[in-house]
């Protein structure tokens, strides 16, 4: 190994370790800063030129994520999410029906919009409702987090790792959804069943509920415009329009308004996530250029990653070690050399997302729900989540992998 190769390997390891941990001891760097530092280090050692670094960034992914963030921000600020959540939950008149409503609403919204943003909206609603009706919030919060992960499996726009895979693989939106929507549907059913079993004491107390949700201020004109744009986006996605192009145009249209200050929308955009993506793309490209010989890339076949079951298990473990987006990028150099790259990408999308339900730390969506609960004075503990997460992850991964194997 050359000196540059050794330096690139060290940068790759340190960057991924930092992203996995979330910080560097003694410093105030977050995941975004760590990824950008790693990318800058790759350029500094000469692993990539600045021009190569620009080319390494998948701007389709960044553009898609930015466009969807603007769409979601508009839906949130206009009051559309709160109104929809209130309407659904106010029609849940029993604890088990409330569980179904929370799971289905979160899962369906997460299938078309970024799941992390849906959790930001749904978690406070769930905490408020359970407080008003004097119920244990934990089962419903767990259902919110896990349903957002399961539902987001269904589409390219469901979560950040799917967006990366959509850009890297070239799989069309309809083909992606046709393959993975059944897995998402099974996952939502599994969430309802497993939460019902694990927290059976909560649902044994059958009482008539009359939940009231604070709807807040709603801007009807902006809600209507956002809904029309979302319908247009769905049509465009399934019609084969490039998803990044459609999302950017949709987001730009929603910025044209007299009712909402642009600054309110900008505050909802997760800039650090975009920076993290850019940094990780550069780090992976630098490592790929300096370290990955044709023999090493071909070793993916020797590891048996062409086998659906082995690839699914490997992806799930990797996702829990380093988080799902970094895991997907780490697998990027190896997938194209497999016998069926499209199927392999779909397996990676499924497994990296469902693996996020394993522990409370498994996905950003889980952490968002836990943090929203904590801010409202409620605790979602690691073990409370794990009691549902462990069986749910095993069941959904087994079913999803069997489905993908049967499709081959």
How far lies 201's CA from each of 44, 196, 387, in Å? Answer: 58, 9, 14
Identify the DSSP state of 11: H
Higher pLDDT: 99 or 291? It is 99
Q: How far apart are CA 380 and CA 322, in angstroms?
A: 22
pLDDT tens digits, one per residue of 301-334? 667 778 899 999 999 998 888 778 888 888 888 8
Of the given ranges (28-32, 170-174, 187-191, 250-254), which has the lowest mean pLDDT?
28-32
Degrees (nearest 5) of the Cα angle 181, 185, 186? 120
Structure tokens given for 65? 């994520």
pLDDT, position 53: 94
Burial of 208 (0-12, 13-18, 19+ CB in 10 A): exposed
pLDDT, position 300: 61
Q: What is the average per-residue pLDDT within 57-71?
A: 90
pLDDT tens digits, one per residue of 355-389? 999 988 788 888 888 888 887 788 888 899 999 99
Residues 6+ apart with CB under 8 A from 198: 139, 387, 388, 391
How far lies 290's CA from each of 2, 10, 46, 294, in Å? Answer: 9, 12, 10, 12
Q: How far apart are CA 247 and CA 236, in angstroms?
A: 9
pLDDT tens digits, one per residue of 120-145? 888 888 888 888 777 888 999 999 99
Q: What is the average per-residue pLDDT within 143-169?
A: 93
pLDDT tens digits, one per residue of 67-103? 999 998 888 888 887 777 777 776 667 888 889 989 9
Structure tokens given for 135? 């119920």
pLDDT tens digits, one per residue of 198-246? 998 888 766 666 666 666 677 888 888 988 999 999 999 999 899 999 9
Chain centroid, CA 280 distance in Å:
16
How far lies 92's CA from each of 111, 138, 147, 185, in Å? Answer: 22, 17, 17, 21
For residue 234, which of 157, 349, 119 has the smallest C-alpha distance?
157
pLDDT of 178 above 90: yes
pLDDT, position 296: 67
Question: For all residues of the chain together, what is the average pLDDT?
Answer: 87
The confidence band for 401, taking pLDDT boundaries of 50, 70 and 90, is very high
> Residue ranges of the domains in the chain?
3-406
Residues 99 and 143: beta-carbon distance below 8 Å: yes
pLDDT, position 199: 92
């Amino acid at each position: 190994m050359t000196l540059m190769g050794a330096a690139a390997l060290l940068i790759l390891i340190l960057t991924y370790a930092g992203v996995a941990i979330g910080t560097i001891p003694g410093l105030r760097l977050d995941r975004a800063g760590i990824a950008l530092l790693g990318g800058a280090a790759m350029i500094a050692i000469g692993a990539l030129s600045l021009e190569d670094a620009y080319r390494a960034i998948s701007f389709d992914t960044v553009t898609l994520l930015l466009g969807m963030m603007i769409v979601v921000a508009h839906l949130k600020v206009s009051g559309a999410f709160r109104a929809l959540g209130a309407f659904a939950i106010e029609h849940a008149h029993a604890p088990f029906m409330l569980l179904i409503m929370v799971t289905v609403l979160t899962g369906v919204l997460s299938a078309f919009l970024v799941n992390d943003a849906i959790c930001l909206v749904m978690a406070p609603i769930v905490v408020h409702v359970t407080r008003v009706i004097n119920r244990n919030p934990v089962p419903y919060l767990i259902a919110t987090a896990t349903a957002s992960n399961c539902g987001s499996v269904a589409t390219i726009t469901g979560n950040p790792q799917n967006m990366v895979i959509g850009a890297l693989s070239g799989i069309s939106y309809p083909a992606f959804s046709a393959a993975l929507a059944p897995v998402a549907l099974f996952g939502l059913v599994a969430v309802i069943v497993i939460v019902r079993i694990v927290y059976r004491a909560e649902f044994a107390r059958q009482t008539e509920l009359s939940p009231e949700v604070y709807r807040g201020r709603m801007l009807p004109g902006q809600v209507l415009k956002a809904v029309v744009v979302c319908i247009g986006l769905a049509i465009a996605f399934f019609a084969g329009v490039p998803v990044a192009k459609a999302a950017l145009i949709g987001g730009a249209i929603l910025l044209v308004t007299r009712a909402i200050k642009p600054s309110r929308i900008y505050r909802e955009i997760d800039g650090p996530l975009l920076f993290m993506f850019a940094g990780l793309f550069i780090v992976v490209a630098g490592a790929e250029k300096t370290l990955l010989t044709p023999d090493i890339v071909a070793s993916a076949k020797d590891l048996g990653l062409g086998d659906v079951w082995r690839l699914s298990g490997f992806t799930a473990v990797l996702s829990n070690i380093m988080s799902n987006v970094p895991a997907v990028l780490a697998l990027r150099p190896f997938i194209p050399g497999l016998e069926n790259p499209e199927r392999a990408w779909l397996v990676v999308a499924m497994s990296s997302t469902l693996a996020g339900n394993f522990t409370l730390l498994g996905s950003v969506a889980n952490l968002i729900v836990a943090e929203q609960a904590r801010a409202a004075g409620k605790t979602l503990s690691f073990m409370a989540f794990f009691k549902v997460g462990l069986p749910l992850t095993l069941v959904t991964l087994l079913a999803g992998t069997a489905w993908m194997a049967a499709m081959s």
